[in-house]
């Protein structure tokens, strides 16, 4: 269990505060009928020491509320901590969440970030089931992928996500980027390289990237600090060399500046000044360079102090790792943590105006510190990293996997994919999705034009349902997918998700996702209505309509104007008579709204159902619309699709 880490223990802190009478309050004296906080505290401690913490709970709560009312945030936070620890231990997770969030709030009110672990623990305990669905996005569904300005940043895809990798320490691939497809089944869009400020431009990586038809992410590190970073001949030449490279370059200058582990971890004002210096030079000298500002996801609540400003930043990145232990320490478990919540702060601050990338990210599958394998943990979170996060965070448009084994360094975690066959296989599977982009260019999008929406959105032809599931038990034993009361799939390992054809989803369908823990107990479920729309394909090309086809009395009504015009006919509408007329190559067709008879060159033709207006659009039986000008119409029931083939 992850608990907030404080300079002193809660018990010691409370005893110190109370012994000096600080809990009596500075502004309001005790009434005669009130028991002194010190006595109440001692009574609660006695209950706890006797193994009767349940009796201490109301006392802790009353003391917390009193401290809150008096704005004694330190004391209030400490009592909230006692309460969340208790409720967590008895598995009353709703109450635990309440007090974890209160403790975080109280610490923030006290000007401290000591509650960040409490916020994270609250997130871990909250049962979560979210369902996303693949779709061909229309203009409205594309809005979450766009910045609020509507203008894409340099090299930003319209939607979809670039896959990147750091491979230098992988002896199988090294810096031979052109081996990507043979190892992973797909080229990566970008390859990560490190460079030191003060040294020449790393041209050796450029030719390798060109051979792989890829871009570079360069992590440019001022290892001698920020003082040498000036607008001088060195910086200008480096920028011109970057321009000469002729490939897209994502320049991550002085990343993770908000931590204390780098030589450039200085005051925010100095950092911002130096970042702006580099950005100004690159923007003027190297149009193929996108500036990436990239803090670490920890420590929390301080990254915004270092933000250089929208004018100087093209992309916002973050270093974000998922590991079973905190800093490689087996005594501090991080198994309940996922990559999902760790992006929350940065995404909330910047995603509305900047594309987001995970500049470095990986999931540990082995801990060298104690020689333990964590395959189940790793597979679950790799699935979340690549399959859930791009759906939950549509402005997340790039992930670079840090493919290394830190055998003797830092956390001593092994992230190297080839060291775990299951991880390698899952990675190859998730990046094979066309949503994962292999070519960097502004406005790029998936080749199959598939994005992701909320699973409540009606789909056309087929869809893939992707779940995000989190339970307090951490480990998912099984997921059951139940459609209209019938179990259609069971899954015990990632990748999680199912495909549905439109023909499987009649009107009024309900999909339920049932979640089981390792013991086989059903611990959560979520039901949602699912629905599909009729599709129209003309000569194999799926049509997009402002008004989709509808089914009435067993007949499919299709938008007349859109299909007639696609077939090369001229269409006119007479509002006075409610008559639509289409003409092509000597054939004239007319029909009136509300009539079940149409006229082809003056000859009456009986319709299956009458033409009608739907949301202002003239709708007529699809077979009649498709065959009028010589097309052949068939019905593809499995996918609820009208197929029209022209002569």
**Across the strands, what pairs with 511?**
483, 528
Q: Which residue in 617, 614, 524 sits closest to 573, CA to CA?
A: 617
CB count within 10 Å of CB 243 equals: 16
The DSSP line for 241-276 is: HHHHH-S-EEEEES-STTSSSSTT---HHHHHHHHH
Q: In whole angstroms, how far apart are CA 180 and each of 163, 177, 212, 243, 401?
A: 11, 6, 8, 25, 13
10 Å CB burial of residue 540 (0-12, 13-18, 19+) is exposed
Residue of 256, 335, 345, 462 with catalytic role: 256
CA distance readout (Å), 323 to 110, 227, 335, 372:
30, 34, 7, 12
Active site residue 256: yes
Which two tokens mark 38? 């010190």
Residue 564: count other Cβ atoms within 10 Å of its Cβ.
Answer: 24
Q: Are 487 and 171 in contact (CB under 8 A)?
A: no
Distance CA(593)–CA(578), nearest Å, equals: 6
Of 88, 81, 123, 121, nearest to 103 by C-alpha is 81
Burial of 171 (0-12, 13-18, 19+ CB in 10 A): exposed
**In whole angstroms, what is the distance from residue 22 CA to residue 18 CA?**
6
Judge whether 285 counts as a catalytic residue.
Answer: no
Q: Which entry of 335, 360, 462, 464 is annotated as an active-site residue?
A: 360
Task: Round to whole Å and give the CA distance between 291 and 312.
Answer: 7
Cα separations in angstroms, 369 against 2, 75, 328, 375, 620: 19, 37, 7, 16, 69
Length of the chain: 647
> Where would I find the H helices in 402-486?
421-431
Query: CB–CB of 189/438 below 8 Å?
Result: yes
Distance CA 467, CA 391 (A): 10
- Helices vs strands, H then E, count in the chain: 17, 37
CA distance 526 to 455: 12
Quote the CA–CA distance of 586 and 232 in Å, as a whole number: 73
Pairing of strands 459-460, 532-533: parallel
DSSP for 358-407, please give it. Answer: EEEEEE--EETTTTEE-HHHHHHHHHIIIIIHHHH-TTEEEEEEE--B-S
Residue 335's contacts (CB-CB under 8 Å, 6 or more residues apart) are 324, 377, 474
Catalytic residues: 256, 360
């Amino acid at each position: 269990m992850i608990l907030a880490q404080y300079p002193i223990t809660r018990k010691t802190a409370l005893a110190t505060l109370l012994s000096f009478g600080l809990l009596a309050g500075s502004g309001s004296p005790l009434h005669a009928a009130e028991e002194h906080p010190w006595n109440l505290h001692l009574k609660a401690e006695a209950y706890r020491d006797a193994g009767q913490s349940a009796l201490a709970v109301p006392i802790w709560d009353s003391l917390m509320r009193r401290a809150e009312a008096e704005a004694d945030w330190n004391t209030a936070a400490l009592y909230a901590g006692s309460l969340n620890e208790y409720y967590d231990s008895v598995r009353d997770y709703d109450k635990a969440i309440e007090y974890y969030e209160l403790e975080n709030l109280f610490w923030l009110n006290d000007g401290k970030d000591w509650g960040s672990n409490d916020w994270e623990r609250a997130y871990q305990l909250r049962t979560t089931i979210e369902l996303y669905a693949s779709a061909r996005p229309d203009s409205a569904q594309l809005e979450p992928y766009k910045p609020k300005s509507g203008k894409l940043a340099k090299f930003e895809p319209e939607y979809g996500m670039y896959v990147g990798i750091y491979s230098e320490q992988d002896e199988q691939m090294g810096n031979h980027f052109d081996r990507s497809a043979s190892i992973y089944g797909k080229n990566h869009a970008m390859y990560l390289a490190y460079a030191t400020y003060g040294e020449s431009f790393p041209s050796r990586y450029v030719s390798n990237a060109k051979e792989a038809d890829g871009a570079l992410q360069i992590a440019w590190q001022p290892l001698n600090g920020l003082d040498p970073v000036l607008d001088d001949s060195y910086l200008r030449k480096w920028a011109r060399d970057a321009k000469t490279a002729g490939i897209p370059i994502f320049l991550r200058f002085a990343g993770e500046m908000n931590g204390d582990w780098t030589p450039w971890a200085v005051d925010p004002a100095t950092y911002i000044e130096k970042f702006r210096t580099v950005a100004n030079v690159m923007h003027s000298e190297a149009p193929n360079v996108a500036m990436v500002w990239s803090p670490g996801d920890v420590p929390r609540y301080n990254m915004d102090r270092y933000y250089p400003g929208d004018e100087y930043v093209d992309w916002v990145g973050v270093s974000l790792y998922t590991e079973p232990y905190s800093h490689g320490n087996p005594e501090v478990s991080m198994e309940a943590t996922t990559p999902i919540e760790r992006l929350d702060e940065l995404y909330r601050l910047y995603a509305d105006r900047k594309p987001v990338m995970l500049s470095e990210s990986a999931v540990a599958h082995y801990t060298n510190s104690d020689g333990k394998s964590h395959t189940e943990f790793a597979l679950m979170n790799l699935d979340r990293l690549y399959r859930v996060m791009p759906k939950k965070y549509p402005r997340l448009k790039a992930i670079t996997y840090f493919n290394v084994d830190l055998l003797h360094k830092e956390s001593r975690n092994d992230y190297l994919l080839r060291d775990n066959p299951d991880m390698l296989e899952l990675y190859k599977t998730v990046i094979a999705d066309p949503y994962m982009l292999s070519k960097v260019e502004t406005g790029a999008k998936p080749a199959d034009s598939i994005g992701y929406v909320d699973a409540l959105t009606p789909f056309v032809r087929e869809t893939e349902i992707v779940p995000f599931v989190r339970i307090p038990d951490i480990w998912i034993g099984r997921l059951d997918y139940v459609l209209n009361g019938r179990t259609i799939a069971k899954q015990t390992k990632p990748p999680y998700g199912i495909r549905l054809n439109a023909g499987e989803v009649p009107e009024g369908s309900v999909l339920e996702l049932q979640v089981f823990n390792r013991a086989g107990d059903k611990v959560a479920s979520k039901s949602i209505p699912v629905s599909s729309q009729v599709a129209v394909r003309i000569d194999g090309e799926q049509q997009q309509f402002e008004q989709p086809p509808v089914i009435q009395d067993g007949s499919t009504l299709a938008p007349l104007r859109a299909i007639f015009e696609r077939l090369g006919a001229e269409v006119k509408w007479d509002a006075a008579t409610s008559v639509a007329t289409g003409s092509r190559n000597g054939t004239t067709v007319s029909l009136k709204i509300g009539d079940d008879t149409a006229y082809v060159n003056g000859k009456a033709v009986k319709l299956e159902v009458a033409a009608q207006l739907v949301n202002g659009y003239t709708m007529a039986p699809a077979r009649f619309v498709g065959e009028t000008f010589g097309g052949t119409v068939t019905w593809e029931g499995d996918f609820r699709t009208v197929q029209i083939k022209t002569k």
